[in-house]
Amino acid sequence: MRIAFLSPAITEILFALQLQNQLVCTDQFSDYPDEAQRIPHVSDAIYEDIRELYDYDADVAEMVQDIYMDGLLKSYTDPSCELLNLVLL
Protein backbone atom coordinates (compact mmCIF):
# COMPACT_ATOMS: atom_id res chain seq x y z
CA MET A 1 0.00 0.00 0.00
CA ARG A 2 1.26 3.49 -0.88
CA ILE A 3 0.53 5.99 1.89
CA ALA A 4 0.65 9.79 1.85
CA PHE A 5 0.20 11.35 5.27
CA LEU A 6 0.60 15.08 5.64
CA SER A 7 1.02 15.26 9.38
CA PRO A 8 4.25 15.12 11.39
CA ALA A 9 2.54 13.22 14.20
CA ILE A 10 1.21 10.54 11.86
CA THR A 11 4.60 10.28 10.16
CA GLU A 12 6.18 9.51 13.54
CA ILE A 13 3.49 6.92 14.29
CA LEU A 14 4.03 5.20 10.93
CA PHE A 15 7.76 4.98 11.67
CA ALA A 16 7.03 3.58 15.13
CA LEU A 17 4.83 0.93 13.50
CA GLN A 18 7.65 0.22 11.01
CA LEU A 19 5.47 1.22 8.04
CA GLN A 20 7.89 3.82 6.67
CA ASN A 21 8.52 1.74 3.52
CA GLN A 22 4.90 2.31 2.52
CA LEU A 23 5.08 6.08 3.06
CA VAL A 24 5.47 7.76 -0.35
CA CYS A 25 5.37 11.40 0.78
CA THR A 26 4.85 13.57 3.82
CA ASP A 27 4.42 17.25 4.58
CA GLN A 28 7.36 19.64 4.82
CA PHE A 29 7.29 19.57 8.63
CA SER A 30 7.74 15.78 8.99
CA ASP A 31 11.38 15.68 10.05
CA TYR A 32 11.39 13.10 12.84
CA PRO A 33 12.77 10.55 13.04
CA ASP A 34 15.76 11.57 10.94
CA GLU A 35 14.86 8.99 8.28
CA ALA A 36 11.63 10.93 7.62
CA GLN A 37 13.69 13.71 6.08
CA ARG A 38 14.60 11.35 3.21
CA ILE A 39 10.95 10.83 2.21
CA PRO A 40 9.71 13.24 -0.47
CA HIS A 41 7.89 16.22 0.98
CA VAL A 42 4.97 18.02 -0.58
CA SER A 43 4.04 21.56 0.36
CA ASP A 44 2.60 22.78 3.62
CA ALA A 45 0.03 20.31 5.00
CA ILE A 46 -2.40 23.05 5.92
CA TYR A 47 -2.63 24.72 2.52
CA GLU A 48 -1.91 21.68 0.42
CA ASP A 49 -3.24 21.27 -3.10
CA ILE A 50 -4.38 17.66 -3.01
CA ARG A 51 -3.61 17.28 -6.72
CA GLU A 52 0.07 17.39 -5.80
CA LEU A 53 -0.40 13.92 -4.30
CA TYR A 54 -1.44 12.49 -7.65
CA ASP A 55 2.19 12.26 -8.78
CA TYR A 56 2.93 9.94 -5.86
CA ASP A 57 0.23 7.44 -6.85
CA ALA A 58 -0.87 7.02 -3.23
CA ASP A 59 -3.54 4.49 -2.28
CA VAL A 60 -4.33 6.20 1.01
CA ALA A 61 -3.97 9.88 1.86
CA GLU A 62 -4.65 12.08 4.86
CA MET A 63 -5.20 15.78 4.50
CA VAL A 64 -7.43 17.80 6.77
CA GLN A 65 -7.61 21.55 6.96
CA ASP A 66 -8.83 23.23 10.11
CA ILE A 67 -11.25 26.06 9.49
CA TYR A 68 -12.63 28.42 12.10
CA MET A 69 -16.27 29.32 11.51
CA ASP A 70 -18.41 31.23 13.96
CA GLY A 71 -15.70 30.85 16.58
CA LEU A 72 -15.72 27.05 16.32
CA LEU A 73 -13.01 24.83 14.91
CA LYS A 74 -14.32 22.66 12.09
CA SER A 75 -12.38 20.19 9.99
CA TYR A 76 -12.53 20.40 6.24
CA THR A 77 -11.53 17.69 3.84
CA ASP A 78 -10.69 18.56 0.26
CA PRO A 79 -13.41 17.01 -1.95
CA SER A 80 -11.02 16.66 -4.89
CA CYS A 81 -9.68 13.47 -3.27
CA GLU A 82 -12.63 11.65 -4.79
CA LEU A 83 -11.59 12.88 -8.21
CA LEU A 84 -8.15 11.37 -7.72
CA ASN A 85 -9.52 8.03 -6.47
CA LEU A 86 -7.77 8.40 -3.12
CA VAL A 87 -9.00 6.78 0.06
CA LEU A 88 -9.08 9.69 2.45
CA LEU A 89 -8.63 9.09 6.16
15 pLDDT above the threshold of 60: yes
| Tens digit of each residue's pLDDT (9 = 90 or more) over 23-68 | 999 888 899 999 999 999 887 655 456 667 778 887 777 765 554 4
Q: Domain 3-88: which topology? A: Rossmann fold (3.40.50)
Domain residue ranges in the chain? 3-88
Q: What pLDDT sits at residue 58?
A: 79
Between 50 and 21, the more confident residue is: 21
Question: Quick one: pLDDT band at residue 84, thresholds 50, 70, 90?
Answer: very low
Q: Is the pTM of this model over 0.85?
A: no
- The total number of residues shown for the chain amounts to 89
Distance of alpha carbon 81 from alpha carbon 48, whole angstroms: 12
Which positions ≥6 away from 88 have C-beta within 8 Å? Answer: 60, 61, 62, 63, 77, 81
